[in-house]
Amino acid sequence: MSRQEYNEDSIKSLDWKEHIRLRPGMYIGKMGDGSSPDDGIYILLKEVIDNSIDEFVMGNGKSIELSVKNNKVSVRDFGRGIPLGKVLDCVSKINTGAKYDSKVFKKSVGLNGVGTKAANALSSYFRICSIRDGKSKLIEFEQGNLINDMPISDNSSRKGTKVTFVPDKELFGDYKFFDEYIERMVWNYCYLNPGLTIIFNGNKFYSENGLHDLLDKNIDSEVLYPIIHLKSEDIEVAITHCKNQYSEQYYSFVNGQHTIQGGTHQGAFRQSLVKTIRDFYGKNYEASDIRQAINAAISIKIIEPVFESQTKTKLGSTEMEPGGSTIISFVQEFIKSNLDNFLHKNLDTADILQKKIQLAEHERKAMSGVKKLARERAKKASLHNKKLRDCRIHYNDHNKDERTESTLFITEGDSASGSITKTRNIKTQAVFSLRGKPLNSYGLTKKIVYENEEFNLLQAALNIEQGIDDLRFNKIVIATDADVDGMHIRLLILTFFLQFFPELVREGHLYILETPLFRVRNKKETIYCYNELERREAIKKIGNSAEITRFKGLGEISPNEFKYFIGEDMRLEPVILTHNEKIEDLLSYYMGKNTRDRQEFIINNLIREDDISL
């Protein structure tokens, strides 16, 4: 065995851009291809927009212009503009920025001075222009390398800052931005900053009523009572309960940052809500009964927040400011005072809320026997069958950040599940095999989840009986055949999740696996094609000697081939709900009674096998 020398030459020092490009995960979390809302390209966008939001919060500029086209991003604000002599430092020197001055940015998210530097270093092209006091400063980079440092010049345009960047394909691969994810980000900025206007690709986004508007636009079901909207200087809360809903749905924010994974503030809110409700009614209701079907949003502002990861999706702070009151006591005092006062002043709402809690209590007690039997069945099944081929990450001592890489493939049939099982990354990828077509769960109660073996075992595999806080897999991928039966099974699985666990969809956990429809090959080369256009291009490339295979089912794809489709280049189509789509309307249209509208849709969108030329 050869020995490696360890001396002065072994010690390396990387400059700012080299370190970011070598270890991007330290700065933006995972990379990704844009199919997930927490992929790196969205983190870069958020970091740049955050600077513009901070200007608005400080009373500078009421609008932001955002453009994302052909992977080129431009963000233009009308704030004060970066001091012209410090523009270069602010985008190319780590730990440089005004946010270290707590007097200027007291309750800002971006306290580490990294955001725009990461966007610069991880982009193939980066341009920043600051306009201030009738003059401007423009600088350009490629992969973090300075290529153009223009001298300060006269400029009569409105003051502010414009940043343009293109995430580097050498690092991110073949990525793309999903407008739906960006729109959700933009809406959240507007909800948290009433009065702010954001123009995204020519469309105007604006909110007057903050978190009240957030709930109003995101709730799918009928609300039981008007949204309760409570607000003070450093905290804002919106609350309601819905009909025909079983889960809890929360939207939580810290200093404008969407904390998707919650944290101390969200935990404090859930505890405070239960305590206040119990005290108001004078009854020790179960916490789960109080919170069943709740839709709530909470936003707090604190000094020097501490997050559990660089991407700031979970708050770890326990104090409102260093050495100050705890977040728990602050939230409890606010909820106790304001919610209690509201309920005393709005007795009709208080009566509706109590009846909802009592109904949840009645349903829980009636379901206790069914749930117990279902848990025993799931435990027995996990020991004696192979419906779930789990991944090793759940058995070893891995941290939670690693578990965000875990994926569950939901398949149908032994051949398809067998191919994926043999090919998968056993560390992070698991397989759940369905037996035949699932039940159409539209309009059914959650009792069916426990009584139906397939649904019960799938729920147990995901660990979502008590909600998605302890979800075992970050990505849930539906992998069915690209034929009529496969599409029907896909719809039935989607119906199950939308009916009983819509938060899985809203929070970006559900995907469709894209597998190739064609294989075009000769003796020298094999090309897999996912659509007709790719098939035609492959035939042109290979020539008349091409052998063409049409895949009709996943079982036809051998394990040796499957490794190309569920590895690093895996194509996933995210299941996304937009603001205009209501779950009840979607399920009623596609899975309800066969209406004339649906018949016309099927006829107009039917693609016959004969239409696909081979």
Q: Please tell me the distance from the alpha carbon of residue 57 to that of residue 218, in angstroms, as a whole number.
A: 24
Higher pLDDT, 161 or 24: 161
Q: Please tell me the distance from the alpha carbon of residue 231 to that of residue 460, in angstroms, as a whole number.
A: 39
Q: What are phi and psi of 381, to 5 degrees?
A: -65, -40
- For 56, 127, 131, 260, 426, the CA distances from 134, given in Å and listed in that order, are 20, 20, 7, 41, 60
- SS (HEC) of 583-600: HHHHHHHHHCCCCHHHHH
Please work out, in degrees rounded to the nearest 5, the angle formed at the alpha carbon of residue 248 by the alpha carbons of 244 and 253: 135
Strands (E), 220-327: 228-231, 235-241, 249-254, 257-258, 294-300
In contact, 437 and 492? CB cutoff 8 Å: yes
Averaging pLDDT over each range in 65-74, 303-312, 418-427, which range is the top one?
65-74
- pLDDT given at position 256: 83
**Helix (H) and strand (E) counts in the chain:** 22, 23
Average pLDDT over residues 141-148: 92
What confidence tens digit (pLDDT) does each residue in 584-599 have? 777 777 777 766 776 6
Nearest to 299 by CA among 112, 107, 466: 107
pLDDT reading at 254 higher than 50: yes
Q: Please tell me the distance from the alpha carbon of residue 88 to that of residue 91, in angstroms, as a whole number.
A: 6
- Conformational region of residue 559, where left means phi above 0, alpha means psi within -120 to 50, and beta covers everything else: alpha
Q: Which two tokens stand for residue 235?
A: 């905290």
- For 277, 372, 508, the CA distances from 184, given in Å and listed in that order, are 31, 39, 11
Higher pLDDT, 517 or 1: 517
Lowest-pLDDT range, 12-16, 136-140, 389-393, 543-547? 12-16
Q: Which domains does the chain have, with CATH numbers?
A: 16-206 (3.30.565.10), 211-364 (3.30.230.10), 385-515+551-576 (3.40.50.670)
Lowest-pLDDT range, 102-111, 143-152, 500-509? 102-111
- pLDDT given at position 486: 82
Q: Please tell me the distance from the alpha carbon of residue 556 to that of residue 156, in angstroms, as a whole number.
A: 65
Q: Please tell me the distance from the alpha carbon of residue 434 to that of residue 330, in angstroms, as a whole number.
A: 47
Q: Please count the residues of the chain.
A: 614
Residue 240, amino acid: T
What confidence tens digit (pLDDT) does each residue in 425-449 have? 888 899 998 887 888 888 888 888 8
- For 39, 74, 164, 471, 560, the CA distances from 32, given in Å and listed in that order, are 5, 21, 21, 20, 24
What confidence tens digit (pLDDT) does each residue in 520-556 have? 988 888 888 888 888 999 998 888 788 888 887 777 7
- For 247, 408, 416, 478, 479, the CA distances from 433, given in Å and listed in that order, are 25, 10, 9, 11, 10
- For 248, 524, 571, the CA distances from 519, given in Å and listed in that order, are 45, 13, 16
Asked whether the CA dihedral 99, 104, 105, 106 is positive or negative, the reply is: positive
- Conformational region of residue 115, where left means phi above 0, alpha means psi within -120 to 50, and beta covers everything else: alpha
Q: Please tell me the distance from the alpha carbon of residue 72 to that of residue 74, in angstroms, as a whole number.
A: 7
Tell me which DSSP letter residue 446 carries.
T
Q: Which two tokens stand for residue 487?
A: 């599409």
Helix (H) or strand (E) segment spanning residue 273: helix 264-281
Strands (E), 259-348: 294-300
- The pTM assigned to this predicted structure is 0.83
Residue identified by tokens 């100050």 is: 324
Rounded to the nearest integer, the mean pLDDT of the chain is 84
- For 16, 80, 364, the CA distances from 255, given in Å and listed in that order, are 27, 20, 37
- pLDDT given at position 612: 47
Helices assigned H by DSSP within 29-149: 40-57, 87-92, 115-121
Tell me the percentage of the chain whose pLDDT exceeds 70. 86
Helix (H) or strand (E) segment spanning residue 147: strand 145-149
Q: How many CB atoms lie within 10 A of CB 186?
A: 22
Q: Max alpha carbon distance in the chain (Å)? A: 81
- pLDDT given at position 64: 96
What confidence tens digit (pLDDT) does each residue in 53-81 have? 988 988 888 999 999 999 999 999 999 99
Encode burial over 26-65: b for 16+ CB neighbours within 10 A, e otherwise.
ebbbbbbbbbbbbbbbbbbbbbbbbbbbbbbbeebbebbb
- For 390, 401, 404, 431, 559, the CA distances from 424, given in Å and listed in that order, are 11, 20, 17, 9, 9
What confidence tens digit (pLDDT) does each residue in 15-56 have? 778 888 888 888 888 888 898 888 899 999 998 998 899 889
Residues near 404 by beta carbon (within 8 Å), at least 6 away in sequence: 30, 474
- pLDDT given at position 215: 93
Average pLDDT over residues 220-228: 90
Q: Which two tokens stand for residue 137?
A: 């400063």
In contact, 305 and 111? CB cutoff 8 Å: yes
Q: What are phi and psi of 295, to 5 degrees?
A: -125, 120
409 strand-pairing partners: 431, 477
Lowest-pLDDT range, 57-61, 391-395, 408-412? 391-395
Nearest to 575 by CA among 517, 502, 468, 486: 502
In contact, 440 and 591? CB cutoff 8 Å: yes
